Amino acid sequence: MEEVAGTIQDLISEGKIKHWGLSEASAESIRKAHAVHPVAALQSEYSLFFREPEEEIIPTLEELGIGFVPFSPLGKGFLTGAIDETTKFDSTDFRNIVPRFSEENRKANQTLVDLLKSIAMEKGASPAQIALAWLLAQKPWIVPIPGTTKLHRLEENIGAATIDLSVEDVGQIDAAASKITIQGARYPEHLQNRVGK
């Protein structure tokens, strides 16, 4: 870490780095990096499907004034409602090795999607839009980055910004989601061991 910090400090001194960010860093690493030069943003997974950043990461970012750019804000597609236990992924699909996406775990985790679908019906929205609107309602410095290759999905995702979730709405979502225990690990063990360094 010291060697990397020295190199970064040199680049900052030369004016070659003005803003920088981290990905999947632990709270401790964020603090160390921020001490070298203010970190602009952290990219890490965060959604109703994966809320671990609420424990240490989000409080650390808020304290230090660092933006948060959550990837997989739709739970790698699960929160869209288009995936269930009968879904067959292409043989090259990363989700084939993710424990959370086993057939058994998808079936168990369907409760969360059902919650999003019921709220979406009330709001005249899609489950994906509710999942994104929930993220946008968390903090003004949290900006999710959903990925898509389809124009109609891009338009759907953009539509989430027009959905106004009240404090009461967010509270109801949180209360209902807190009663749901997500089944399956986020990553296989060999990949999880690389996260949060």
Task: Tell me the percentage of the chain whose pLDDT exceeds 90.
Answer: 80
Residue type, 30: I
The Cα 155–Cα 152 span in angstroms is: 5
Contact by Cβ (8 Å): 103, 85: yes
Contact by Cβ (8 Å): 137, 165: yes
Is residue 197 scored above 60 in pLDDT?
A: no
Burial 94-118 (b: 16+ CB within 10 A, else e): ebeebebbbeebbebbbebbebbee
Exposed/middle/buried for residue 164 (C-beta within 10 Å: 0-12, 13-18, 19+) = exposed
User: What tens digit of pLDDT does each residue of 25-38 get?
Assistant: 999 999 999 998 89
Helix (H) or strand (E) holding 57: helix 57-64
Domain ranges of the chain: 2-192
**Does the 2-192 domain belong in CATH 3.20.20.100?**
yes
User: What tens digit of pLDDT does each residue of 123-142 get?
Assistant: 999 999 999 999 999 999 99
pLDDT score of 36: 85
Give residue for tokens 């240490």: 56
DSSP lists the bridge partners of residue 189 as none
> Where does the pLDDT of residue 187 fall: very low under 50, low under 70, confident under 90, or very high at 90 and above?
confident
- Please give the model's pTM, rounded to 2 decimal places: 0.89
